[in-house]
């Protein structure tokens, strides 16, 4: 089969690779390029040494299924890239996104077919009612829902999203779908205009009034923003570090805000399976709304071009 293979930093090549040998095989209809895929392509990643097939935000059609597994050839499905074990201490504390015993789908999905092991079908494969590229957004939305779970959202909450990249835009669409007033701050005018065209308040950094928002999502990986927005957040509010910073980075926050103003600093990483299920239901209910996140479609053959476009910042989500 054809696969887009990451062969080293800045390198992607279309190659012929062996078909998966599993009993359950999904023919990939679409796979979104994630921030992690882009980071791997640009800087390398310890979890994905080259050569590797990247891509985990995918859906497709069942092409091969064992007898009695509940699926037939041709069924549309979305596959969770991992599932927590559900039984360890971390899982029992409801923090499945951090489970140390996750079951991962072994191969990436920037290719024609992905093999799923038989013991993962029940846990990680979900039936879809139709073929639609919007289902590539289930995994990123699941990560957003894990972030939302860390917040202390109240009916009177006002949310501020810092950064209008694909994840920031997903947070903004989710808040507006839930009826929570939301503003997004973004320095790049084209990204601001895109968000504003959805009827969402989009502002330049510097136009945020202190105390106007109690729920602040940092969806840009710049550590200085954390301290800056802790100070701007309303009393008893929460700041969520959604974007990842590396292990050797430290953030500095104003102590007064944490103690005297009860502002909390939280983080979130990945999703647990309950978020994946909820994300799928939300996407089913708001297909058109969430489809706005997908700005480009590319065939696998033009994968490198798609990665370069995403790196330029001119696209939100690109589906291969």
Q: How far apart are CA 320 and CA 313, in angstroms?
A: 17
* CB of residue 274 to Zn ion, shortest distance in Å: 13
Q: Is 84 in the site for Zn ion (CB under 5 A)?
A: yes
Measured from the CB atom, the residue of 85 and 196 that comes closer to Zn ion is: 85
Q: Which is nearer to Zn ion, 12 or 34 (CB)?
A: 34
Size of the residue set binding Zn ion (CB under 5 A)? 7
Per CB under 5 A, which region of 14-22, 101-109, 149-157, 292-300 contacts Zn ion?
Answer: 101-109
Give the per-residue contact string, 16-35, with Zn ion (x = CB under 5 A; - = no): ------------------x-
Nearest distance, CB of residue 146 and Zn ion, angstroms: 12
Which residues within the stretch 225-254 sit at the binding site for Zn ion (CB under 5 A)?
Answer: none
Q: In terms of CB distance, is 84 or 112 closer to Zn ion? A: 84
Give the nearest distance from C-beta 119 to Zn ion in angstroms: 15
Rg of the chain over all Cα atoms, to the nearest angstrom: 20
Among 14, 61, 69, 88, binds Zn ion (CB under 5 A): 88
Nearer to Zn ion, 237 or 303 (CB): 303
* Residue range at the interface with Zn ion (CB under 5 A); choices 86-94, 165-173, 214-222, 295-303: 86-94
Inter-residue contact 237 to 213 (CB < 8 Å): yes
85 binds Zn ion (CB under 5 A): yes
Question: In terms of CB distance, is 102 or 287 closer to Zn ion?
Answer: 102
- Which CB sits closer to Zn ion, 183 or 243? 243
Chain positions 144 to 183 lying near Zn ion, rule: CB under 5 A, are none
Nearer to Zn ion, 225 or 279 (CB): 279
Judged by CB under 5 A, the residue of 80, 99, 148, 218 near Zn ion is 99
> Whose Cβ is closer to Zn ion: residue 104's or residue 260's?
104
Nearer residue to Zn ion within complex by CB, 34 or 217 = 34
* Sign of the alpha-carbon dihedral angle for 196, 201, 202, 203: positive
Q: Which of 62, 91, 105, 265 is in the footprint of Zn ion by CB under 5 A?
A: 91
Considering only 71-79, 89-97, 198-206, 207-215, which stretch makes contact with Zn ion by CB under 5 A? 89-97
CB of residue 85 vs Zn ion: minimum separation in angstroms?
A: 4
Residue 250 C-beta: closest distance to Zn ion, Å = 26
Residue 229: Cβ-neighbour burial (10 angstroms; 0-12, 13-18, 19+): buried
Token pair, residue 183, equals: 């503003």
The 3-state secondary structure of the chain, one letter per residue: CEEEEEEECCEEEEEECCCCCCCEEEEEEEEECCHHHHHHHHHCCCCCCCCEECCCEEEEEEEECCCCCCCCCCCEEEECCEECCCCCHHHHCCCHHHCCCCEECCCCCCECEEEECHHHHHHHEEECCCCCHHHHHHHHHHHHHHHHHCCCCCCCCCEEEECCCHHHHHHHHHHHHCCCCEEEECCCHHHHHHHHCCCCEEECCCCCCCCCCCEEEECCCCCHHHHHHHHHCCCCCEEEECCCCCCCCCCCCCHHHHHCCCCEEEECCCCCHHHHHHHHHHHHHCHHHHHCCEEEECCHHHHHHHHHHHHHCCCCEEEC
Chain residues binding Zn ion by CB under 5 A are 34, 84-85, 88, 91, 99, 101
């Amino acid at each position: 089969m054809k696969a887009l293979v990451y062969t080293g930093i800045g390198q992607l090549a279309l190659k012929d690779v062996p078909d998966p040998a599993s009993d359950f095989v999904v023919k990939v209809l679409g796979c979104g390029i994630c921030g992690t895929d882009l980071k791997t392509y640009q800087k390398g990643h310890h979890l994905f040494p080259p050569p590797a097939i990247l891509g985990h935000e995918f859906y497709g059609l069942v092409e091969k299924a064992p007898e009695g597994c509940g699926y037939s050839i041709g069924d549309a499905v979305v596959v969770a890239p991992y599932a927590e074990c559900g039984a360890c201490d971390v899982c029992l504390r409801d923090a499945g996104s951090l489970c140390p015993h996750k079951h991962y789908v072994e191969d990436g999905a920037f290719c024609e077919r992905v093999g799923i092991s038989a013991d993962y079908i029940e846990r990680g494969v979900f039936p879809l009612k139709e073929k639609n590229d919007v289902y590539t957004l289930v995994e990123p939305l699941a990560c957003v829902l894990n972030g939302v779970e860390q917040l202390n959202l109240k009916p009177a909450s006002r949310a501020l999203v810092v950064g209008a990249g694909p994840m920031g835009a997903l947070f903004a669409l989710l808040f507006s779908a839930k009826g929570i007033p939301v503003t997004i701050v973004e320095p790049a005018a084209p990204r601001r205009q895109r968000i504003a065209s959805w009827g969402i308040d989009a502002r330049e950094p510097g136009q945020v009034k202190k105390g106007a928002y109690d729920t602040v999502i940092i969806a840009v990986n710049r550590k200085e923003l954390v301290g800056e927005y802790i100070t701007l957040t309303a009393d008893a509010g929460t700041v969520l570090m959604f974007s990842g910073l590396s292990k050797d980075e430290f953030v500095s926050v104003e102590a007064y805000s944490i103690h005297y103003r009860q502002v909390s600093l939280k983080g979130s990483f990945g999703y647990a399976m309950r978020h994946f299920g909820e994300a799928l239901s939300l996407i089913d209910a708001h297909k058109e709304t969430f489809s706005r996140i997908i700005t480009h479609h590319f065939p696998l053959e033009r994968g490198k071009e798609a990665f370069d476009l995403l790196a330029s910042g001119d696209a939100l989500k690109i589906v291969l």
